[in-house]
Amino acid sequence: MLNSTQRLKIQLMTNGMAVSTGARAALSREAESRPLTLAEYASTSGIALELEGQIWVNAPIADHNPNFVAATPHRLEHRADEFWVCSGRDEVRARPVPVPAFHDQENDDGEPFTDYAVTHTDRVRISPIGGCSFACAFCDLPFKMRYRRKTIKGLVDAVRRALADEVLPARHVLISGGVPAGEDWEWQNQAYGAVAEAFPDVDVDVMMVPVPGLLDARRLRDLGIHGLSLNLELYDLERARRIMPRKAGIPRQHWLDFIEDAVDVFGPGRIRSLVLVGIEPLEETLKAVQALAERGCEPVLSPFRPDPATPMRDHPPPSVEVLAEVYERSVEITRRAGARLGPRCLPCMHNTLTFPEDAVDDGSAWPGS
Ligand code: SF4
């Protein structure tokens, strides 16, 4: 049974949040006129908050999601030097996460660091490929950015800058971004190795589609990669073929075999897979959770957030009731399978349907948590 703050997180994900004039002014003052958020991906378009009880949420705002954040009953307020999420007569103390100091800075080659890297809570995400050679209808990357290969030097420089950030220092790294075209597969693996080698004391994870021939779990482990996120997203094949045709073109058995093998190679707690909630029937989502959990993979429930730049901009986000049911039944499924929901890092839960009870805190909490 969800407590009231957990339920608030779910409500914020579904309805979004208004930001009062006072809260905007306070955030702007505290952040020296930095933007409210580095909205650069569908599921990280809002303001990241830590609510009471170490419950992290990325709350969509109308600035970036006018397509569904309208008459929301939730409002971020600032009073007496504290931030509160107010919902009618209910108030929950909140701590907004500032954007990093590097948000408007450039590297030695005059490129914005944010061309390479974005930090939202305590994890910096870098993207070796801009855009994507695939085109999933829920993802903004192929619709906002043209396909391009970046530079390995730029990636390493950006991680170094993010780890040393004065406002929001990153504690771990995720290498994600678009799927490389075939001619860039070897380069992509070199990029993985270069980042892992440059920062041997930092956990570096890889999020990528297990396209046959692109990823090799043993090679990635030997390069020093800490763990993998292999995102199944949807389970219903007919729907998957319509919404993410290139991903659905990879045989289901290959996905599951790759995931099972990766769990063997990397060990417990190192392999995750995002499952989108709210696009397909709930029972299909739960089948995905079951298939992943029984292979030792940690399913990550990712509430669908319609991005205005995508063909799915008018598809509504999942209701509070659907999210609550998927969450509660997924907890049961993973427990029965001897697994757990991911991610394990508390701040990384900001855009996932996960709570502190579900995962061990691996010590990577935001400073002051
Ligand atoms: S494969 Fe990944 S990055 Fe590419 S369009 Fe699909 S979800 Fe986006």
Q: What is the pLDDT of residues 221-239, one digit of tens each?
A: 999 999 999 999 999 999 9
pLDDT at site 361: 47
The domain total for the chain is 2
CA distances from 15 to 74, 201, 300, 301 (A): 8, 39, 21, 18
Q: Is 179 in the pocket of ligand 1 (CB under 6 A)?
A: yes
Candidate from 27-36, 108-117, 183-192, 318-327 with smallest mean pLDDT? 27-36
Q: pLDDT at residue 367 above 50?
A: no
pLDDT at site 364: 40
Domain check: are 193 and 53 in the same one?
no
Domain check: are 245 and 328 in the same one?
yes
Within-domain flag for 368:
no
Give residue 332's Cα distance to chain centre.
23
Please state, as a whole number, how many other Cβ atoms lie within 10 Å of the Cβ of residue 301.
23
**Atom 2 (ligand 1) nearest CA:** 178
Q: How far is the CA of 329 from the centre of ligand 1 (A)?
A: 27
pLDDT at site 26: 87
Domain check: are 178 and 29 in the same one?
no
Which of 96, 130, 149 delimits the end of a domain? 96
**Closest to 140 in 3D by CA, of 293, 313, 270, 358:** 313
pLDDT at site 33: 64
Residue 25: exposed, middle, or buried by beta-carbon count in 10 A (0-12, 13-18, 19+)? exposed
Within-domain flag for 366:
no
Atom of ligand 1 lying closest to residue 177 CA: 3
Q: How far is the CA of 133 from the centre of ligand 1 (A)?
A: 8
Q: Which of 129, 139, 244, 246 to mutate to test the pocket of ligand 1 (most atoms within 8 A of CB)?
A: 139
Residue 137: exposed, middle, or buried by beta-carbon count in 10 A (0-12, 13-18, 19+)? middle
Within-domain flag for 365:
no
Q: How far is the CA of 237 from the centre of ligand 1 (A)?
A: 17
Within-domain flag for 363:
no
Domain check: are 334 and 244 in the same one?
yes
pLDDT at site 360: 54
**Tens digits of per-residue pLDDT, 20-38?**
999 998 887 765 667 777 7
Q: Which residues fall within 8 angstroms of residue 21, CB to CB, at 6 or more apart?
A: none
Give the pLDDT mean for 348-359. 91
pLDDT at site 206: 98
Within-domain flag for 192:
yes
Domain check: are 119 and 226 in the same one?
yes
Q: pLDDT at residue 362 above 80?
A: no
Domain region containing 203: 101-358
pLDDT band for position 42 (cuts 50, 70, 90)? confident
Domain check: are 148 and 274 in the same one?
yes
Domain check: are 88 and 122 in the same one?
no
**Tens digits of per-residue pLDDT, 274-298?**
999 999 999 999 999 999 999 999 9
Q: Which residues fall within 8 angstroms of residue 212, CB to CB, at 6 or more apart?
A: 250, 254
Within-domain flag for 367:
no
For the chain, the average pLDDT equals 93
Within-domain flag for 45:
yes
Domain check: are 54 and 148 in the same one?
no
Domain check: are 159 and 218 in the same one?
yes
Domain check: are 226 and 89 in the same one?
no
Q: Is 248 in the pocket of ligand 1 (CB under 6 A)?
A: no
Atom of ligand 1 lying closest to residue 233 CA: 7
CA distances from 285 to 50, 278, 279, 329, 369 (A): 27, 9, 9, 10, 32
Domain check: are 139 and 282 in the same one?
yes
Which of 79, 96, 113 delimits the end of a domain? 96
One-letter amino acid identity for 152? I
Domain check: are 88 and 227 in the same one?
no
**Of 44 and 307, more confident:** 307
Which CATH number covers residue 197? 3.20.20.70
Q: pLDDT at residue 369 above 70?
A: no
Question: How far, in Å, CA of 119 to CA of 295, rounded?
Answer: 31
Q: pLDDT at residue 50 above 80?
A: yes
pLDDT band for position 368 (cuts 50, 70, 90)? very low
Question: How far, in Å, CA of 51 to CA of 2, rounded?
Answer: 15
Within-domain flag for 297:
yes
Which of 73, 96, 119 delimits the end of a domain? 96
pLDDT at site 295: 97
